[in-house]
Amino acid sequence: MKNTSVFFYQIIKYFNMKGRLLYFLPLIIFLFGCEEKKLQQEHKIDLFADERQEGKAYIMNEQECFDASDLVLSSSDIKLTDSSTGRGRAIFIYKIKSGEVLKTTRDSVINFPVQILSDQRLKLKSPMYVYLKKLEGYRFIAKDKHLKYQWLKAAPVYSVKAEK
């Protein structure tokens, strides 16, 4: 430390005598100020190893999806109409233009087209089952887009099987 300060003093004295201290002072500060420092040390012992859990996402089967849904539709005419990804949670709004009602607990008559909200981007197949539950949250989006239902969270996209 003492050697660097003596060296630094000699450099300042040399440039000050020539009158060019103001030109080289930023360069000198940059050279001595930029040194690599590690802010955190790497610890060999992991203190929180037992607290880390790698969970697998639970995927419902068709019967569980049907039982947990408020509304189940069968449709082949589904389009992504709007999406928002960026700040906050990603949301996707789909429009179902036509379909067949397989189960309902709230409404006895469904007027098509129906718009629904989903947290995940759906892999749209044709035709498919649409498992919906009553919309929770998203108050401003629901009012603006006239949404009543959202995609059942753990439900994957199931294709409609042809009956034999």
What confidence tens digit (pLDDT) does each residue in 106-145 have? 766 888 999 999 998 988 878 899 999 999 988 999 999 9
What pTM was estimated for this model as a whole?
A: 0.63
What confidence tens digit (pLDDT) does each residue in 21-77 have? 666 677 777 777 766 666 667 767 777 777 666 667 778 899 999 999 999 999 999
What confidence tens digit (pLDDT) does each residue in 15-25 have? 665 556 666 67
What confidence tens digit (pLDDT) does each residue in 86-107 have? 778 889 999 999 999 999 887 6
Domain ranges of the chain: 2-33, 62-159
Closest to 147 in 3D by CA, of 110, 99, 115: 115
Distances (CA, A) of 63 to 4, 16, 35, 60: 75, 85, 62, 8
DSSP code at position 111: P
Task: Please give the structure tokens belonging to residue 31.
Answer: 């050279």
What residue type is 91 in one-letter code?
I
pLDDT of residue 74: 92
